[in-house]
Structure 1
Amino acid sequence: MVDFHEDPGPGSGRRAPRADFLSDAPRLSLNGRWRFRLSGTAEGTGPSLPDPALDDTGWETIRVPSHWVLEGHDRPLYTNTAYPFPIDPPHLPEGNPTGDYRLRFDLPVDLPVGWPVGWPGGRAVLRFQGVDSCGTVWLNGSLLGHSKGSRLPFEFEVTGLVRPRGNLLAVRVHRWSSGSYLEDQDMWWLPGIFRDVELLARPSGGIDDFTVRASYDASDGSGTLLVTADAPGLVEIPELGLAVATGEEVTVPGVEPWSAERPRLYRGTLTAAGETIDLPIGFRTVEIAGGRLLINGRPVLFRGVNRHEHHPERGRALDRDTMIRDIVLMKRHNVNAVRTAHYPPHPEFLRLCDEYGLWVVDECDIETHGFIYAGWEGNPPAEPMWRDALLDRARRMVERDKNHPSVVIWSLGNESGSGPAFGDIERWIRARDPGRPLHYERDPSYRHSDFHSLMYPSLDDLERIGRREEDPPDGVVPESADDVRRRGLPFLLCEYVHAMGNGPGSLADYQAILESYERFCGAFVWEWIDHGLTGHDAQGRPYFRHGGDIDHQPNGGRYCLDGLLFPDRTPSPGLAELRKAIEPVGIAVDVGAGEVVVANKHDLIDLGHLEFRWWVEVDGVPASEGGVLRVPGCGPRETVRVPLPAVAVAADGETWITIEAVLATATGWAPAGHVVAFTQSRLGPPTPSPTALAAPQPAGGTADGLAGGPLPGGIASDAASAVGRAPGGGGGVRVGGAVFDRRSGRLVRLHGVEVDGPVLDVWRAPTENDRGQGPRNALAADWEAVGLDRFLHRTGALESPDDRTLVVRGRSGPATRTLGFRTTYTWQWRDGALHLRIEAEPVGDWHDTAYGHLSVSPPRMGARFALPGGYTDVTWFGRGPGESYADSRDAARVGRFARAIDALQTPYVVPQENGNHVETRWLELSGPGLPTLRVDGEPHLDFTARRWTSEALQAAGRPHDLRDSGRVWLNLDHGQQGLGSASCGPALPERYRLPVRRYSWSMTLTA
């Protein structure tokens, strides 16, 4: 038996690649239950696999399409950049799990009325849409051939081999093959027949392949259509009154162009030899002119995401409903573009992008990132033996997807270094499809790309790129031909703001730069969805597995959990923030001018599909004012001004106007009234800041505070907790209606509410972005190195200058270090309420000169309190209802909100800091049988409230590891540092950090 898996060639016996299309020709789905047996080596079950006489009744069955590692056979493996096998191309280790598949099937008896030739007398084609990683195929004992290129289709001619009844289809699938060297794509390694298998009836003399050229001339609004095919046929588009032969070019005046913003498809047909092929036509033109990307004559800006195909139970075996769910979520969150990272998707996804409207960067199934561990020696694009395999993948992508109007850019692959093969791919695509530009990011010369492109630049670097003032890449000579050419190219930010865990931050900052320079044609967030796989622990509790949960080395650990959606497709807070940052309508209130400024950020359509509504709230309570804002016609990338509605400003409290742009009518992806964009503006004079907040604010902060997080519990102190017992030390110190512990100075009771606090809190359970990537941007490791996670507390003196005041002085810092903060808590009883001012002065060596000059700043500056566990709910006035941080706050509106404490937690797949709320004016905690506890900021606070400590949050491996501690841990903070995206990206900007300096903040507590 021939073994192809180590052959570096792309395949054998296959038909030429061709366009994917739907028609009325008979099609037999071979999806379903197949016989299956897994073996440990490439020999599989041996040479008898294709023999129809082989008795396979003792074999197990498996679902097709699927991955066998998700169907109870072997295990899934995840790596980011590392190959899970030795780098010894094109060879693979002897231990190579191999799945043998067998299916018996009959041809259907009933065929469509009018079909001239039935099976098996006509032509028949066997098609596989995706097999990972190498599939060798036999039909009725005859070898058809083999194919590599896991995310690409391949076909075999089976005319004369297929029988009316009793067919035996056998497929041997190797987990590893030479093709695996080209598929190191930061994803789970999931082998198997994971896309559809079909038997297609093809009419004799019919059309097998065709090419649609449907361009749009923006100067006169005409569309030009040319359909060429490998056999004569008739093109009919009734809506346009067209009936022309293939090969005949026609120009139609006054067509509506296709775009992601208005995906206008003209539904037509292509008929030949009794077959009718669906022909959806979208007129559009893509070009690069003057250093800009133009579509339909206009510059466009992609507001995009990178999308791996993923389902927590099915892996990459996605069904149509899941694809629609993804697209609807994208459209509802203002996403207008997808980069198909890092391979062509299932063809149905592109049909849906045509229909719903998404720009697509279609990426070839090529990535050789693991050769980084070989110093790029032997990298396939630079080695002649791989040329055919690499070029084959590009051909199969382009031929399959060439007729989709949504596909506007071809990407040659991802993170594969450079080499002559990319020149071959570039030349072939340009000759075959000159109507689309090309993208490739990793070759520093950019000779094969129509775009300059990078991953994860800092904000400063992105600004320089916008000005075309960037430094040349390594290896490129300044002012050389390559350097000059690159500066003239449009810029495509193919990956940015790594969405791993809580984050990403700075989305609004990046978008502001992207919208400020004409060079930019858009950006794609990494990435759409967490790649968690459904699992169950020893107690049967469900959770989502990541690479580190699999007993295998190497593995990429949690690095697969880097999406805007959780694995079950629940949107994360990061997706809400992205939605706000990339709004296609800018709305701003110019109070001084008495106007509302409306900026249409759409590239190709006006605002006629939107309605603008407004209303007013005072301290978060709706007022009587409200209505519809009449916005005049506003073309793409234009701005209009309309009068600000007359609003009565309240004498007391904060008066806020909210203006929303909503869908005027329902679409295929959202109902009428769906919010596309919003703004809020405060009317009237601002609240004056009290003296307590007059000290300079931290970088990136304002008098409103920064962001906050969880409460470090279990921290040692000189004084024991006073919750649940009478004050120790011979009775408490009373200040008005408050009682304080005589030794620690902590508040223990306020009008019947038992309290323990505050304790100075500088810690948060590290986010994935705090942990950085390896030694790079490893903030959490630096914090732990100097002990910010283990502060101890000492109370010095308690001073009572009068019977309404208590001053508590102390110091907080870690063992083995001199660094810390000297604290002063000043309590005053005023008008039946307890006022608190907290001052924290840094002391000691914060630069750690004894340990390599490690310089750190605290992740939070806050105060933690422990409250009775009976508190269940929080009502607050401030930003909400979702979590917010210093660099991720725009999606959170100012208003009055009420949530259960348990609902304030965000269940990140790996527990970490979450649930903070910035700019909180006041909050009230309530629970059955408990007095309501109210806290007023002066003027603002950050708050978090949860039933576990920061230490418990940090120690938990999964959300179900978190346990109710019996208390509610409340943080009332000056602020918390931002989130950033340093898990794979630049360091957190300084303006979102908390510098080591003196802090002071105030609040009032009432029960």
Structure 2
Amino acid sequence: MIRVTPYWENLKVLQENREAPRASFIPYQDQATAATGKRGRSPYFQTLNGSWKFQYNASVKDTADGFYAVDTDVSGWDDLIVPSCWQTNGYDQLQYTNINYPVPCDPPFVPGENPAGLYVRDFQLRADWDGKEQYLVFEGVNACFYLWVNGAYVGYSQGSRIPAEFLVTSQLRPGRNRIAVMVLKWCDGTYLEDQDLWRYSGIYRDVYLLAREKAHIRDIFNRQELASDYSRAVLRSEVQTTGKLEVKAELRDKSGRSVASGSAVIDGQGVIELAVDAPELWNAENPYLYQLELQAGDEALRFRTGFREIRIQDGVFQVNGQPVKLKGVNRHDSHPTLGQTIPLNHMIKDLNLMKLHNVNTVRTSHYPNDPRFLELCDQYGFYVVDEADLECHGMSQAEVAEGTIHRLTDNAEWQPSFLDRMERMVERDKNHTCIVMWSLGNEAGYGENHKAMARWTRERDASRPVHYEGAAPINKGDTDTDCLDVESRMYATYGYMEEYGKDNTKTKPLFQCEYSHAMGNGPGDLMDYWNVIYKYPNLMGGCVWEWCDHGVKTETPDGRSYFAYGGDFGDQPNDGNFCIDGLVSPDRKPHTGLLELKKAIAPVLIEADDVAVGKLAVTNRYDFIDLSALAFSWRLEQEGQTVAQGALEGLDALGPQQTQAVAIPLDPSLFSPGGRRYLTVTVRTRQDTPWAEAGHEVTFEQFELPVGQAEATPAPAVLASAGFQLQAAENGHLLELTGFDFKYVFDLYDGTFVQLSKHGVNLLHGPVGFNIWRAPTDNDRNIRHAWQEDGFHRAGMKVYQAKWTTLDSGAVEIAVSYSLGGYSRSPILHGEAQWRVEGNGAIVLNTQVKVRENVPFLPRFGLQLIMPPGNEEVEYFGYGPHESYIDKRHSAKRGKYLFTVDEMFEDYIMPQENGSRYATEWAIVSSELGMGLRFDAPQAFSFNASHFTPQDLTEAAHSYELVRRKETIVQLDYKLSGIGSNSCGPELLESYRLSEKEFGFELRIQPIFKEDE
């Protein structure tokens, strides 16, 4: 017996009876209805979304023969909502894998145990559709499917994220009908769909029927031609019909006024040209859309279209002749409970959040998104890099041999599969103004098949550049990249970008399609990237990886909700929490990394000219609009208290990329002597927009004023009672220090304080200790191995000697010689510490440290204190209101803040270092009654207060595993190494590392009762 190769493993069969791809649109009965954009109001549209009968089979071989017959009893089957992913409904295996294929790498073959989902839907066909052509449209089915209507076989299709349309007129009948679909989890297309995501299956996008006249507009391509000075535009609509048809066209502006009209009798192929003088141009800042109305017989079609030109001139990416920076993010279709089935309002929420944070570009990683998403991008104003559903990253893991990533693109048998994915995407999306580049896919090697995709795309649509990062030299593929219009890179270093920017011989702009990996507490290098991008015209920007965490909302057995990641469902292979790498959480709560991005790509730059006299320079970084939509205000503060404020006028007319000098009235008499003084300029929206209310903060800038004494506020004067001397006495290995209103105990054996109290109130829970460990961030995932190899995570203090003396001033000084290290390794560092206890109760620490030469940079160095329960109030002067680090602080403002300990915490799905405040001047941790400890240092320090120790955070794999301590853990760090983006990006910059081999740290600790001082 000769085995017949099934379609799902046959490279020669990508479809059967599927209609040729076309532009996405819905016919209506009139223009008024078409203008609503509500397709359900069209008499020619019938949704098949809803409850279907469903049967899951672990293997296609288990499916019952003839299940698709009209008389098959499916009443006992399950009910499943379509669209949906079957894994989110309890069927099959939830699985997250990044690079590795979920099947043995044996293209084009997939496992014989290929899961199959059987779908059946009975429905009534509208009576008024008799005599019309009837089409069945599936907008997304993963991974391939067979279709039957009323028991008759209709066809087959694969390609998970692109529509499949079938002519079903001959199979449908008046009244009751049955559709049956068999969806397979895997097919040969699985080798081209190895994206970094949860592997979902099923009919996950909309399904509907369309009724069309016998002669109707089958497809349309709305091309644009603009005069060199943009004074005139021509909309050239290339219309394809199924028969002879008179087509009338009218173009209306935003107000509904007709600006051009025309008509033509078209039989198969034809063109209608509409000319517009002085057109309003579309761009992301002013997304002006015209309405193209087409009338053909009884059908009305409506297209939103914007006039814009994409061009690369002298290596610079331009929109409408203006150099533009793409300030983007990579976005997956991802929902925490629905998987890849994305509701319209969820898309809108994403775009609103992007607008709120100054994002202007979306890369549809790594496949065409839901077509409604592109409609929204047209309207909201986003530049879109539309990416083909093509990634075969797993080829690089299948064999330990160089070049395996290119195996499929170098194979001519796979070329039809490659081309099919590009052609169907371009045809579907070609009329969307927002699309500024076509992408040939992602991480799929580079060879002849990709070049064929690029050639076809250029021939079909020469108006947009073609992008593909897989052709970068690092991938060692085909070196002929003439078919590509931009140089695309992933995670290129700042140094590489600087070199590229300086190179005047480069004829293509550089696009970082992925950069600044936003995993967990990160990224920490956004401003570094954008300082370089702004500097050079041929650096066109990039897209942060990525927009959202892909956590799956689930519950523990005892009902605690959390976001799961790879491996949480027993899935193999899996890539753990590598899917938790977004700027927002799965439920779209912004991480602090998104605030950093917002600041780095802000459309207004405010710089100091002569800040001492209030002179500033304001630059409009918009590309097309002035600043009339924004309001500027200023505020003067001293030690966190506002002393003056006002509005900054005269900037409304400042044009794109222009700079204007402004002056803030600075009156020295407003300030009292000493103390930190800051000028903050804030930029807000003047009016409501679709994504923000009036008053939304677009950006800000803050300047320290060099007026008066630029020093931290001195600690409050806490005086001992006249005549009372500090008493010191040894009690075994404990040194007891007694003052007028305080008592301290220092353990001479362990070299640290073990008790601090004031007025009998205990302020310490356990011994004070030096600490170098932090719970590794996701961006520490590489360096943490070196840290752990040297025992950083288990470093304890060894005391060599501790001795004390009473100074002439009456203060007591304790000298401690110590080291920090872990078992099996040499000490990481040695230190000498002097603890001085003064008569007023102040404790001054001065430690000198020498770090072993052959250890990696330290995560941190500082002091850790544990304060008793009840110390919940945190007040400090430093960066806020959210967490900040040496390389992740630009979105924070200097000032005085008051929080609870819980409010200091940033809840990352994978617990890690969080909540630190960089460059703190002073901090107080106390009870609500103000009884606590104050911390000061001559130099600003990093500060954190938490209910979790670094060890707690290190050991927990999910936030629900954290057990909140009642005590408050205080970290006071000389320095804390930066965040970076090394989970996928470059190594942390040297300037952000605690790599000093010798340093000193001074800190002052003062028990206080705030209300009395």
What is the letter of the counterpart of residue 514 of structure 1? I
Q: Conserved in 1, the CA contact under 8 Å of 2:736 and 2:743?
A: no
2:73 aligned with 1:55, yes or no?
yes
2:169 aligned with 1:135, yes or no?
no
User: 739, 754, 758: which one pairs with 2:763?
Assistant: 754
2:11 aligned with 1:4, yes or no?
no
Deviates more, 1:746-755 or 1:29-38: 746-755
Q: Conserved in 2, the CA contact under 8 Å of 1:614 and 1:660?
A: yes
Q: Conserved in 2, the CA contact under 8 Å of 1:727 and 1:740?
A: no
Q: Conserved in 1, the CA contact under 8 Å of 2:813 and 2:837?
A: no
Q: Which residue of 1 aligns with 2:55?
A: 37
Q: Conserved in 1, the CA contact under 8 Å of 2:675 and 2:711?
A: no
Q: CA deviation at 1:69?
A: 0.9
Deviates more, 1:258-267 or 1:370-379: 370-379
Q: Which residue of 2 aligns with 1:27?
A: 45
Q: Which residue of 1 aligns with 2:824?
A: 816
TM-superposition CA deviations, 1:658-713 (whole Å, max 9, x none): 111111221111111111111011123475679x9xxxxxxxxxxxxxxxxxxxxx
What is the letter of the counterpart of residue 662 of structure 1? R
What is the letter of the counterpart of residue 1005 of structure 1? Q
- Structure 1 residues 198 and 728, CA gap change in structure 2 (3 angstroms): farther
SS of 1:121 mapped into structure 2: coil
Q: Which residue of 1 aligns with 2:797?
A: 793
**Where in structure 1 do 4 or more consecutive aligned residues deviate above 6 Å?**
none
2:234 aligned with 1:210, yes or no?
no
Deviates more, 1:16-25 or 1:448-457: 16-25
Gaps of 5+ in 1: 110-117, 470-483, 693-725, 772-777, 848-854
Mapping for residues 580-659 of structure 1, pairs under 5 Å: 580-590=599-609, 591=611, 594-631=614-651, 633-648=653-668, 650=671, 651-659=673-681
Rounded Cα–Cα distance in structure 2 between residues aligned with 1:608 and 1:438:
35
Mapping for residues 125-524 of structure 1, pairs under 5 Å: 125-217=135-227, 219-231=229-241, 232-238=246-252, 239-245=257-263, 247-373=271-397, 374=399, 375=401, 376-377=403-404, 379-443=407-471, 444=473, 445=479, 446-468=481-503, 487-524=506-543
SS of 1:279 mapped into structure 2: strand
Q: Conserved in 1, the CA contact under 8 Å of 2:648 and 2:664?
A: no
Rounded Cα–Cα distance in structure 1 between residues aligned with 2:112 and 2:922:
66
Q: Which residue of 2 aligns with 1:716?
A: none
Mapping for residues 989-1004 of structure 1, pairs under 5 Å: 989-995=989-995, 996-1004=997-1005
SS of 2:806 mapped into structure 1: coil
Q: Which residue of 1 aligns with 2:683?
A: 661
SS of 2:235 mapped into structure 1: strand
Rounded Cα–Cα distance in structure 2 between residues aligned with 1:619 and 1:950:
31
What is the letter of the counterpart of residue 129 of structure 1? E
Q: Conserved in 2, the CA contact under 8 Å of 1:336 and 1:358?
A: yes
Rounded Cα–Cα distance in structure 2 between residues aligned with 1:272 and 1:199:
19
- Structure 1 residues 89 and 742, CA gap change in structure 2 (3 angstroms): closer
Q: CA deviation at 1:962?
A: 1.2
Q: Conserved in 1, the CA contact under 8 Å of 2:356 and 2:698?
A: yes
Deviates more, 1:530-539 or 1:797-806: 797-806
Q: CA deviation at 1:413?
A: 0.8
SS of 2:346 mapped into structure 1: helix
Rounded Cα–Cα distance in structure 2 between residues aligned with 1:903 and 1:727:
41
What is the letter of the counterpart of residue 675 of structure 2? G
Rounded Cα–Cα distance in structure 2 between residues aligned with 1:685 and 1:163:
85
Specify which structure has the bigger relative contact order, considering alpha-carbon pairs within 8 angstroms and separated by 6 or more residues: 1
Gaps of 5+ in 2: 29-41, 265-270, 474-478, 715-729, 1009-1013
What is the letter of the counterpart of residue 10 of structure 1? L
Q: CA deviation at 1:782?
A: 0.7
Q: Conserved in 2, the CA contact under 8 Å of 1:762 and 1:858?
A: yes
Deviates more, 1:179-188 or 1:217-226: 217-226
TM-superposition CA deviations, 1:302-327 (whole Å, max 9, x none): 00000011001111100100000000
Rounded Cα–Cα distance in structure 1 between residues aligned with 2:49 and 2:202:
13
Rounded Cα–Cα distance in structure 2 between residues aligned with 1:930 and 1:288:
62
Q: Which residue of 1 aligns with 2:22?
A: 18
Mapping for residues 103-114 of structure 1, pairs under 5 Å: 103-108=121-126
SS of 2:687 mapped into structure 1: coil
Q: Which residue of 2 aligns with 1:712?
A: none
Normalised by the size of structure 2, how large is the TM-score?
0.89
Q: CA deviation at 1:218?
A: 6.0
What is the letter of the counterpart of residue 1000 of structure 1? F
Q: Conserved in 2, the CA contact under 8 Å of 1:38 and 1:44?
A: no
Normalised by the size of structure 1, how large is the TM-score?
0.90
Mapping for residues 557-568 of structure 1, pairs under 5 Å: 557-568=576-587
What is the letter of the counterpart of residue 754 of structure 1? L
Deviates more, 1:174-183 or 1:787-796: 787-796
What is the letter of the counterpart of residue 64 of structure 1? V
Deviates more, 1:379-388 or 1:1-10: 1-10
Percent identity, aligned pairs only? 36
Q: Which residue of 1 aligns with 2:724?
A: none
What is the letter of the counterpart of residue 425 of structure 1? M
2:842 aligned with 1:834, yes or no?
yes
Rounded Cα–Cα distance in structure 1 between residues aligned with 2:58 and 2:754:
66
SS of 2:998 mapped into structure 1: coil
Mapping for residues 604-753 of structure 1, pairs under 5 Å: 604-631=624-651, 633-648=653-668, 650=671, 651-685=673-707, 729=733, 732-734=736-738, 737-743=742-748, 744-746=751-753, 748-751=755-758, 752-753=761-762
TM-superposition CA deviations, 1:463-487 (whole Å, max 9, x none): 1121238xxxxxxxxxxxxxx7xx3
What is the letter of the counterpart of residue 917 of structure 1? R
What is the letter of the counterpart of residue 299 of structure 1? P
Q: Conserved in 2, the CA contact under 8 Å of 1:745 and 1:798?
A: no
Q: Conserved in 2, the CA contact under 8 Å of 1:738 and 1:747?
A: no
Rounded Cα–Cα distance in structure 1 between residues aligned with 2:553 and 2:732:
50
Q: Conserved in 1, the CA contact under 8 Å of 2:251 and 2:274?
A: no
Deviates more, 1:417-426 or 1:493-502: 417-426
Q: Conserved in 1, the CA contact under 8 Å of 2:143 and 2:187?
A: yes
User: 770, 777, 794: which one pairs with 1:767?
Assistant: 777
Q: Which residue of 2 aligns with 1:983?
A: 983
Rounded Cα–Cα distance in structure 1 between residues aligned with 2:91 and 2:603:
47
Q: CA deviation at 1:398?
A: 0.5
TM-superposition CA deviations, 1:282-306 (whole Å, max 9, x none): 0101111111111101111000000
SS of 1:869 mapped into structure 2: coil
Rounded Cα–Cα distance in structure 1 between residues aligned with 2:372 and 2:908:
31
What is the letter of the counterpart of residue 962 of structure 1? L
Rounded Cα–Cα distance in structure 1 between residues aligned with 2:756 and 2:344:
58
SS of 1:913 mapped into structure 2: coil
Q: Conserved in 2, the CA contact under 8 Å of 1:760 and 1:812?
A: no
SS of 2:886 mapped into structure 1: coil
Rounded Cα–Cα distance in structure 1 between residues aligned with 2:636 and 2:650:
17
Q: CA deviation at 1:592?
A: 5.1
SS of 1:303 mapped into structure 2: strand
TM-superposition CA deviations, 1:405-440 (whole Å, max 9, x none): 000100011111112111211111111111111001
- Structure 1 residues 967 and 244, CA gap change in structure 2 (3 angstroms): same
TM-superposition CA deviations, 1:867-896 (whole Å, max 9, x none): 011111212221001001111010111112
Number of residue equivalences: 935
2:966 aligned with 1:966, yes or no?
yes
Q: CA deviation at 1:46?
A: 2.9
Q: Conserved in 2, the CA contact under 8 Å of 1:18 and 1:396?
A: yes
What is the letter of the counterpart of residue 786 of structure 1? D
- Structure 1 residues 218 and 647, CA gap change in structure 2 (3 angstroms): farther
